[in-house]
Structure 1
């Protein structure tokens, strides 16, 4: 066997250390059993040499921390990545090795990967295990490059580097709408009159730096760990200048000289670079998607429930939407009751797939069979052949069955395209809540619920009475809506509003009747309810009453009258007995109101 090559044809990197004879720094082995230390050293050596059997057995040893670092700040996963042992990397990840790009070790592990296959594995692992929960926008954009996501991303442009053997750098399949959104250069080349407008494949110069181009594509797709910090940077900078990536160039100009300093600065800059991408997609949405929308006016006295918006689009408008600079592969329709029309938007399945509802739709056999698109194969990679896409290849979808206003549809698009909502009109908030729930967009649903609850900040009677004017629904309606949309935040907020105004509600005949009906519906939500079973709404009202008047010692945060004195009953009595007794009297009276309502309904809870 040749020096530097193992039995699996992987490169063995000659690191500046001997793992058999190293003496770890004291912090790394303090209080460690000698045998455990020895086994950890064996694991490091096995990861360096690619000994899968040894790694398999050693990682099963109890109390052996496979995420520990040695005195050179190497972990077993970093070594396996650095030495190119893909099978070891997979094994370590399956045994709990951490690759978190929010840490120095995680960034080092990804940057140090010997080949793109390992790097892509680590990036995809990092995305699915970490970023998806905390950075859903950047995680989704990053996933568009993954092979497993290709059916949803609908990539429609390929850059080919002739003469290269490395499959990772021979061809890059991308979304032209994303390139156009993020780079003025790409926008000019791809839009009407551009050199690449009628192309599905762009052949790059043989002198072009494919590795540098790969890093540029990764930057565009928010795989920000791929920004090079060492080696030949001229090719990367040259592409950044050619593609007019101003913010990226500014970051490169500010990088310090040390490698560690560069890593730290890039980590700090990541959120800013994500914000740049969000702003660019916001502009793209405004200037290319929303600006290209078309409106079809319906006949007078039409029954909107019978309107099938997907069948009203004529060939002329359909063609106009397809040929717009949005590069759409989906047409979104939105019924607008106020204007008596249907509005159509040129959109992208790569973006709509941020919604679990649309993801499920796009993956369904019925959708794929009925909406086939022309494709072209480029070196074993498939992409949409956009120059040959016709209107029959671009399906028309309805935004949501709960949407009757074009503004709601545009708010949904704002969120999907750049993860933000500029403004939620209070009169549209409930409709948006239903739409977000229908489309399985959890975060948008939470933002909408927050916009509704922000209308009630003081929990006074005036706020309760103002709800119908601002939202179109009273407090009891909103509790029911929270049940229908499974929105706990909204339910608790409105229940608290009821508890804080119970006396006024019960003094108003209509509101009292509404609350009684709501309590009955809450009781009916429990299947096979027994006579003495609890009623959730009643329990919640009692809870907020007790919190309001601080009748229990468990409440650290007090509301209403209770905020004016200590939470401890003995201190209340000693400090101001009259205030405390008055509060207890009010509490008992409110509880009696609840009991009276239950008696009238012949319910026990």
Structure 2
């Protein structure tokens, strides 16, 4: 019985090939690759139709929407499948192109596929949807930490698997999504739709929807649960929308799309409403000849948040929430400082007025006394006052260099295991090192962060809220690498490296030597590779600089032995690259590739490279000895003088 169940499960799941390179059936003869054209100035549709993967890569890196439709309601993936360009189709799907067979765009791609290789590629990616980014993946695990939400998703998966239909979901696997996480970071708001609960967090809801923001400011301000019983409101449609708020990926049954469109209109999700209504028209006129016996509850519509306007995507919404918390923190500090200054001024002036009998008895004096005494309670800065009055639902505050930052425990705990463990250890904020500050009639726990400046901590919060970094100063990169290791935010290293690489194009050899050692120490593979490639191509220029020669003295000699590696491949926080070893070994390999040495002369070239390194090391040692002698002579002269 166990073996039969295993066999049944294997027949339901598509097997993903290791590299997706063997994509043709045995009954189909292997054909030469189709000719490709170059479209240096074409758009994403022309590049996909021509199979120009280089142009496609450039357009996608510039932020082109992979699921946007042209004037003929066709996506780029459709043209790639129609022309039979396997590499172009694979690149588009790896960047998030939706190819679900039960949707309008997915069916068009399946029907238009030129050959079986393209069709099999579509099947493989349909069984393995593109993974979520770190932010939506963490928030999805936060959403499914609720037992009621997880129970519904598990039941939906079970029902769909019985019909051999794949749901674009994978259950969370993090160890902290157990009872401990649920007890510490329970959702603070529950919606009962016809008796079925949907648990969510106020901070996420106010960030994603103007409707929920307005409700929490007025009608639902002090409520922890609401009961909704509108006949036109269905539980699956609302659950799909709330889950979209967390994951930025919509997965809804076709039969619930009309209800979802109405809910989007009420919640102010205009872009999502337009996309759902447009898909409803496609579903109305699409013919599912191969699914005539399948009802609409078994057909799924999947939509990526990248297909929506920028203001309705998850990073933009979370950035608004972060900006509100930061402005509210700064506004409270400004009002607090102004209040203290005015109170001090009021005391001095009031005492002065009281001592001056003539002024105090005159009407002008009485008005002055009243104005001075009440000025501490009134603010003339309307913008700051309005900003402070807004509720960001923050529940924790950090103090960095005497600067306070309001934040949200659930977001930080979902993004970082360090913050999750730290919040759990506070035990109701009763420890001695946890203070409370009163803001908006709410007592926020205050945590002190040492050995960190305000700019770095603000960038840290920005990444945890948005998965992005803006206006990064290269001088802060190294401290961010250290903070990423300290707070267990290892994906942050890649984001910092991506932001730092454009600045390194004009960096000096001395700066590149510094960044190479830094990247190797913190395990930043992308930055490490860039520095090694630059040094290998410009080895002669680097060999003439003192900084490069001094760096060689700090590194172990070239060796293939793992015992002499400068950093282990599994360095904490580093990207898992099995071939990362001795820096000079890697530099030698890249130099051999750059020099283009023949295979039969590769060993001789490697020996030549090692000899050059030895000469450079000897030169560096001699220079260091001469500098020490000159320094000693200078010190001797100063002592004599």
Instruction: Provide, for residues 313-368 of structure 1, a one-character-per-residue CA deviation record: whole Å limited to 9, x for no partner.
Output: xxxxxxx9998521012223333xxxxxx32222112221343333542575x234
Instruction: Provide, for residues 146-194 of structure 1, a one-character-per-residue CA deviation record: whole Å limited to 9, x for no partner.
Output: 1246346542122235xx5x5xx1x322111111111111112223xx2
* Cross-structure match for 1:199: 223
Instruction: Provide, for residues 54-106 of structure 1, a one-character-per-residue CA deviation record: whole Å limited to 9, x for no partner.
Output: 5x34134599634379xxxxxxxxxxxxxxxxxxxxxxxxxxxxxx9966379
* Cross-structure match for 2:588: 542
Residue 59 (str. 1) matches residue 109 (str. 2)? no
2:244 corresponds to which of 219, 232, 253: 219
Q: Is the 8 A contact 2:189 2:200 kept in 1?
A: yes
* Cross-structure match for 2:487: 439
1:272 corresponds to which of 307, 327, 346: 307
**C-alpha distance in 1 between matches for 2:132 and 2:412:** 19
2:395 corresponds to which of 325, 329, 334: 329
Closer, same or farther: CA 155–265 of 1 in aligned 2, 3 Å: closer
Closer, same or farther: CA 280–325 of 1 in aligned 2, 3 Å: farther
Instruction: Provide, for residues 82-135 of structure 1, a one-character-per-residue CA deviation record: whole Å limited to 9, x for no partner.
Output: xxxxxxxxxxxxxxxxxx996637999xxxxxxxxxxxxxxxxxxxx9679443
**C-alpha distance in 1 between matches for 2:411 and 2:3:** 44
Residue 407 (str. 1) matches residue 455 (str. 2)? yes
Closer, same or farther: CA 57–353 of 1 in aligned 2, 3 Å: same
**C-alpha distance in 2 between matches for 1:363 and 1:178:** 19
Q: Is the 8 A contact 1:181 1:281 kept in 2?
A: yes
Closer, same or farther: CA 288–267 of 1 in aligned 2, 3 Å: same
**C-alpha distance in 2 between matches for 1:273 and 1:420:** 18
Closer, same or farther: CA 222–355 of 1 in aligned 2, 3 Å: closer
**C-alpha distance in 2 between matches for 1:292 and 1:225:** 32
**C-alpha distance in 2 between matches for 1:190 and 1:62:** 48
**C-alpha distance in 2 between matches for 1:523 and 1:546:** 16
Closer, same or farther: CA 183–203 of 1 in aligned 2, 3 Å: same
What are the equivalent positions in structure 2 for 1:524-563 lying under 5 Å apart? 526=563, 536-553=582-599
2:191 corresponds to which of 159, 171, 174: 159
Per the normalisation by structure 1, the TM-score is 0.55
Shift of 1:250: 0.7
Residue 345 (str. 1) matches residue 364 (str. 2)? no
Closer, same or farther: CA 485–291 of 1 in aligned 2, 3 Å: same
Q: Is the 8 A contact 1:456 1:463 kept in 2?
A: yes
Residue 463 (str. 1) matches residue 507 (str. 2)? yes
**C-alpha distance in 2 between matches for 1:497 and 1:101:** 34
**C-alpha distance in 1 between matches for 2:243 and 2:547:** 60
What are the equivalent positions in structure 2 for 1:3-402 lying under 5 Å apart? 56-61=2-7, 65-67=11-13, 104=100, 133-146=131-144, 147=146, 148=177, 150-151=182-183, 153-161=185-193, 164=194, 169=196, 171-191=197-217, 194-205=218-229, 209-211=233-235, 212-222=237-247, 224-230=249-255, 235-255=259-279, 256=282, 257-258=284-285, 266-267=301-302, 269-273=304-308, 276-285=312-321, 287-294=323-330, 325-335=391-401, 342-358=402-418, 360-362=420-422, 364=424, 366-368=425-427, 370=429, 390-391=442-443, 394-398=444-448
**Is there any run of 5+ residues in structure 2 with no aligned partner, and where?**
16-95, 105-126, 147-176, 289-295, 335-385, 432-438, 567-579, 622-641
Closer, same or farther: CA 66–485 of 1 in aligned 2, 3 Å: same
Q: Is the 8 A contact 1:402 1:431 kept in 2?
A: no
Shift of 1:199: 2.3
Shift of 1:515: 3.2
Per the normalisation by structure 2, the TM-score is 0.52
Shift of 1:430: 1.7
The SS at the match of 2:504 is: coil
Q: Is the 8 A contact 1:152 1:349 kept in 2?
A: no
Q: Over aligned residue pairs, what C-alpha RMSD do you find?
A: 4.8
Closer, same or farther: CA 106–208 of 1 in aligned 2, 3 Å: closer
Instruction: Provide, for residues 419-438 of structure 1, a one-character-per-residue CA deviation record: whole Å limited to 9, x for no partner.
Output: 22233222222222222222
Q: Is the 8 A contact 2:397 2:406 kept in 1?
A: yes
Instruction: Provide, for residues 446-485 of structure 1, a one-character-per-residue CA deviation record: whole Å limited to 9, x for no partner.
Output: 121233333334xxxx7334x6xxxxxx333323322331
**C-alpha distance in 2 between matches for 1:246 and 1:210:** 19
